Chain A
Amino acid sequence: MKVLNIVLNGKAVTAKMGQTILELAREHNVFIPTLCDSPALEAAAMCRLCTVQVIEGKWPKFVTACNFPLRRDAEVVTDSPEVRHGRKLIIELLMARCPTSPELQRLAVDYGCDLERFAPLNDDCVVCGLCTRACEAVTGRTLSLAGRGVAIHVDTAFQKASEYCIGCGACVQICPVNKIAMEDVDGERRIILHGKIASRVKLPQCTSCGKHFGPVIDLQQVMERMGEHKIPPPNASVCPECSRRNLAIKLGKRYFEQYGVFEDEEGQANAG
């Protein structure tokens, strides 16, 4: 494998062919802020916060560190005044959409942002697309970027509560500004997006204790995506808690009943 000689912020380092600037920077403990990057997903370069300057030929050019593959010897500047100025504007513009995000607030302090410059847009999303990409990786059918032009937003198909959601919560977990919520109420799991219910997933009721748990991830769908067709979905009629307790009771009976230690508690052990 060819080794590339890169000058990273004035320091000579080596990089692997095709390695992204972000990977290289992290290897060498150079911090580049990111919003829409996740190691589990393909880079989308949507937030542009990781923009750096690269000089491969004569002129410096602006590229996003998360997906720019190094193919030639180059000089990389991750923190030039121009880059800092651009990042400052990105943060200011995103803060106008989403002023309460701790992540953005911290970056705003770092970059000395003037938060008075842009009138608030009162949108709670920074449109980084992480949730839609995570969703696509898991089920591919629930969340996507909808809307024309600058009115782009995360939404379900036809703005209706989606039928395809498996309630895995990946979107909730990955959102950098914590604006997607999930709650389990009335025997269903709800994903709440822009204050609206984006999907409802029925939660199964435990045949043992009667509590709702779950959700039963539609394994059939997941397996299909992974290319495994024959595995049947597991039997999940008992909640994990009951299942654990029932197993303990079973084992207890088997090993300790003979010593008379174990006493049956109104047939609960039979339920499992």
Chain B
Amino acid sequence: MIEATQVATSPEVNKITSPAGLDIFRKELDSKLDPNAPLLIVCCGTGCQAAGSSEVVDKFREVLSGIGWGGKVIPLVKPTGCHGFCSRGPLVIIEPQDLFYQRVTVDDVEDIVNKTILNNEVIRKLQYKPANSKEVIPRASDIPYYAKQTRLVLKNIGKVDPTEINDSIVRGSYSALAKVLTRMSPDQVIDEVANSKLRGRGGAGFPTGLKWESCAKQEGTRYVICNADEGDPGAFMDRSLLEGDPHSVLEGMAICAYAVGSNRGYMYVRAEYPLAVKTLTAAIRQAEALGLLGDNIMGTGFDFKVTISTGAGAFICGESSALMASLEGKVGRPRPKYIRSVEKGFRDCPSNLNNVETYANIPDIITNGGDWYKSFGTERSSGTKVFALTGNVYNIGLVEVPMGISLMEIVYGIGGGIPNKRSLKGVQTGGPSGGCIPIPHKIPDINVGYGKLAEAGSIMGSGGMIVMDEDTCMIEVARYFVNFLVEESCGQCTPCREGLIRMREILNRITQGDGKEGDVELLDEIGNFTNNFSLCGLGTSAANPVLSTIRFFRDEYDAHIRDKKCPAGVCKPLFHYDIEAETCTGCGLCKTKCPVKAITGEKKKTHVIDQSLCIKCMECYKNCKFRSVKIM
């Protein structure tokens, strides 16, 4: 019986004492790897874990160890970070065939081992079938969802075991750091990053090279801080990076520290990401044990220590000065000072704060050069961006696309289109600070980039992307985000605090059917005031969801206020369902689905809804195959 070619950290690791030593170590690890060895990659991102992938991993190990292999190589089970295709989880990929299995449960494990692994037989029911198609796509790399992406930042995620540093080293982790420490001066590093035109991935899009340069110019102790306080509803790019490829982020931070002349790093992770904190803690420990972080990195004399600090569930702590206040142990509220944190930030020292994704981009830029990075994306927005695609779209999950890609391509090409025969109404980007882009009706299409999105009244944000179909009420969307901010604002400054209270009040009124003439103008007035007069980034963008929906969906506001109708059928007091006599076939489906028995009618005759009983639960509307149930 031959043991699987496993790259495991032996307990007595030898510290890597020179950059060349890292190369030797990698070659040594690489020579042990057999590219044709069977491998079972199980996605263990938070989404798949929630769907039971940890149990799948355990079951695989149990089943595999219970078989006599008789000289054959035992397949290695490798739990990895998030593959991104969360709506199909738990995912299993079988290498080297690149077989893609979706929605794998514990009960399927024995079948997979007995049929696929032992007899090369494919299990059809676990294979991926695109929406509206009967053909299965067996290989992961052929699935349009993956094939149409450009994965630079996410290249290792789903390939490496994040709990095992050697697995990352084989794939090139820390080689950029070695290059920087041996062959580049701090100025050269900054020049390379500036040349790449990388812009901050946290949302505002500040040029990273410029930020590093101004931080490097400062005197005294400098800090390198990573913002992993990702709080936008529905966004999980940073979490996936930290859970799936923590070493790329740590390496990026170390390179930044070298460039700006710091030797102390902090990682501010939100406490709601326990798996990310766990993975990261283990990653730092392993890197320090190998001498790739900590004191005297790779024997070059460069020190860089990273500490993890967890947030306490405040969205506002994603704002730079609030984050630093929170790091210092103070209340996480933005600092009312007109001074940039690269001059005076954490502990009143120059601090370089970047987003997780920004740091994760750095190693590749160093390895391949800024020109290579610039070849992706557009002139003003270079590189790729990871988006969390969600909402009314077939394929929900993480996608990485080059900047400048058309939004329609993301929704239809990668996302697979809108389910339930509905049509697209708009896409919300940028989370609570962003806006709704009304594609394809009012704006035919838009190329995703910092400038283009801002023109359309939205922002890039950290990468949340919510697809909305025709059944979405835009006033409800605005109300949702305002409600979110009402909870998450720090409440310090008058415009944000009072403005949000009033906007919520007016939006509640409109969705309840009590909207008055002049409400939209008042919303617009308060919104512009809040955006101009507030203290921090949250306040100055708090009204964006309201302002952008007013700009593009004014007719919907008018319908709510003047006609007392919700055209999308969301605001319950403002619509009712009716069955259209001409198209109703009397199939009786709605009658059986109705939970309150409000629908009556004989077979093959038009059914009727009793409005006094109807609770507007949408069951009849969703289930009618002939779309005879109409929103009135």
**Interfacial residues, chain A to chain B (CB-CB below 8 A):** 43-49, 51, 62-64, 67-69, 82, 85-86, 89-90, 93-94, 96-97, 117-119, 121, 126-127, 129, 144-145, 147-152
Interface of chain B residues 329 through 346 with chain A (CB within 8 A)? 331, 333, 336-338
Q: Chain B 500-536 against A: per-residue CB contact (8 Å), 1 yes, 0 no?
A: 1110010000000000000000100110010011110
Contact A93:B493 (CB < 8 A) given known A44-B336, A45-B535: no
Instruction: Report Cα–Cα, A208/B498, bound state, in Å.
Output: 53
Q: Chain B 470-508 against A: per-residue CB contact (8 Å), 1 yes, 0 no?
A: 000000000000000111111111110111111001000
Q: Which one of B331, B336, B529 contacts A46 once the chains associate, using CB atoms below 8 Å? A: B336
| Contact (Cβ within 8 A) A45 B336 | yes
| Contact (Cβ within 8 A) A90 B494 | yes
Question: What are the residues of chain A within 8 A of B337 when measuring CB–CB?
Answer: 67
Instruction: Report Cα–Cα, A82/B502, bound state, in Å.
Output: 20
Question: What are the residues of chain B within 8 A of A97 when measuring CB–CB?
Answer: 498
| Contact (Cβ within 8 A) B492 A43 | no
Instruction: Report Cα–Cα, A144/B492, bound state, in Å.
Output: 12
Instruction: Report Cα–Cα, A93/B493, bound state, in Å.
Output: 12
Question: What are the residues of chain B within 8 A of A43 when measuring CB–CB?
Answer: 336
Instruction: Report Cα–Cα, A196/B605, bound state, in Å.
Output: 67
26 contacts across the A-B interface (CB closer than 8 A) = A45-B336, A46-B336, A46-B493, A47-B494, A48-B533, A62-B532, A62-B533, A63-B338, A68-B338, A69-B338, A89-B526, A90-B494, A90-B495, A90-B533, A93-B499, A94-B498, A127-B491, A145-B333, A148-B314, A148-B491, A149-B485, A149-B487, A149-B490, A150-B486, A150-B489, A151-B491
Question: What are the residues of chain A within 8 A of B490 when measuring CB–CB?
Answer: 149, 152
| Contact (Cβ within 8 A) B502 A93 | yes
Measured CB to CB, the nearest residue on chain B to A152 is B491
Instruction: Report Cα–Cα, A152/B501, bound state, in Å.
Output: 12
| Contact (Cβ within 8 A) B495 A150 | no
- 20 A-B pairs besides A89-B529, A145-B331, A149-B489 with CB distance below 8 A are A44-B492, A48-B534, A49-B494, A67-B338, A85-B529, A89-B495, A89-B526, A93-B498, A94-B494, A121-B501, A127-B491, A127-B492, A127-B494, A145-B333, A149-B488, A150-B489, A150-B491, A150-B498, A150-B501, A152-B497
Contact A149:B338 (CB < 8 A) given known A89-B526, A121-B501: no
Interface of chain B residues 559 through 594 with chain A (CB within 8 A)? none
Instruction: Report Cα–Cα, A90/B535, bound state, in Å.
Output: 14
Question: What are the residues of chain A within 8 A of B485 when measuring CB–CB?
Answer: 149
State how many angstroms separate the Cβ of B245 from the closest Cβ of chain A: 33
Instruction: Report Cα–Cα, A47/B338, bound state, in Å.
Output: 16
| Contact (Cβ within 8 A) B522 A117 | yes
Question: What are the residues of chain B within 8 A of A46 when measuring CB–CB?
Answer: 336, 492-494, 535
Q: Which 3 A-B pairs have the closest CB atoms?
A: A152-B491, A45-B336, A93-B498
Measured CB to CB, the nearest residue on chain A to B336 is A45
Q: Chain B 302-320 against A: per-residue CB contact (8 Å), 1 yes, 0 no?
A: 0000000000001000000
Question: What are the residues of chain B within 8 A of A147 when measuring CB–CB?
Answer: 491
Instruction: Report Cα–Cα, A126/B493, bound state, in Å.
Output: 10
Question: What are the residues of chain B within 8 A of A118 when measuring CB–CB?
Answer: 502
Contact A145:B492 (CB < 8 A) given known A45-B535, A150-B500: yes
State how many angstroms separate the Cβ of A49 from the closest Cβ of chain B: 8
Question: What are the residues of chain A within 8 A of B534 when measuring CB–CB?
Answer: 48
State how many angstroms separate the Cβ of B433 from the closest Cβ of chain A: 16
State how many angstroms separate the Cβ of A47 from the closest Cβ of chain B: 5
Question: What are the residues of chain B within 8 A of A47 when measuring CB–CB?
Answer: 493-494
Most buried by B among A43, A67, A117, A150: A150
Q: Chain B 283-317 against A: per-residue CB contact (8 Å), 1 yes, 0 no?
A: 00000000000000000000000000000001000
State how many angstroms separate the Cβ of B542 from the closest Cβ of chain A: 11
State how many angstroms separate the Cβ of B204 from the closest Cβ of chain A: 15
Measured CB to CB, the nearest residue on chain B to A62 is B532
State how many angstroms separate the Cβ of B373 from the closest Cβ of chain A: 29
Contact A89:B525 (CB < 8 A) given known A127-B491, A129-B492, A149-B487: yes
Measured CB to CB, the nearest residue on chain B to A92 is B498
State how many angstroms separate the Cβ of B314 from the closest Cβ of chain A: 8
Measured CB to CB, the nearest residue on chain B to A148 is B487
State how many angstroms separate the Cβ of A249 from the closest Cβ of chain B: 53
| Contact (Cβ within 8 A) B336 A127 | no
Contact A86:B533 (CB < 8 A) given known A93-B498, A119-B505: yes
State how many angstroms separate the Cβ of A112 from the closest Cβ of chain B: 15
Instruction: Report Cα–Cα, A80/B502, bound state, in Å.
Output: 25
Question: What are the residues of chain B within 8 A of A86 when measuring CB–CB?
Answer: 495, 529, 532-533
Question: What are the residues of chain A within 8 A of B497 when measuring CB–CB?
Answer: 127, 150, 152
Measured CB to CB, the nearest residue on chain A to B534 is A48
Q: Which one of A48, A63, A144 contacts B493 once the chains associate, using CB atoms below 8 Å? A: A48
| Contact (Cβ within 8 A) B491 A48 | no
State how many angstroms separate the Cβ of B529 from the closest Cβ of chain A: 5
Instruction: Report Cα–Cα, A86/B526, bound state, in Å.
Output: 9
Q: Which one of B486, B494, B532 contacts A82 once the chains associate, using CB atoms below 8 Å? A: B532
| Contact (Cβ within 8 A) A67 B336 | yes
Most buried by A among B493, B498, B529: B498
Instruction: Report Cα–Cα, A45/B336, bound state, in Å.
Output: 6
Question: What are the residues of chain A within 8 A of B336 when measuring CB–CB?
Answer: 43-46, 64, 67
Instruction: Report Cα–Cα, A69/B505, bound state, in Å.
Output: 36
State how many angstroms separate the Cβ of B417 from the closest Cβ of chain A: 37
Measured CB to CB, the nearest residue on chain B to A44 is B336
Question: What are the residues of chain B within 8 A of A148 when measuring CB–CB?
Answer: 314, 487, 491
Question: What are the residues of chain A within 8 A of B526 when measuring CB–CB?
Answer: 89
Instruction: Report Cα–Cα, A126/B331, bound state, in Å.
Output: 20
Question: What are the residues of chain B within 8 A of A82 when measuring CB–CB?
Answer: 532
| Contact (Cβ within 8 A) A51 B533 | yes
Question: What are the residues of chain B within 8 A of A152 when measuring CB–CB?
Answer: 490-492, 497
State how many angstroms separate the Cβ of A56 from the closest Cβ of chain B: 11
| Contact (Cβ within 8 A) B495 A48 | yes
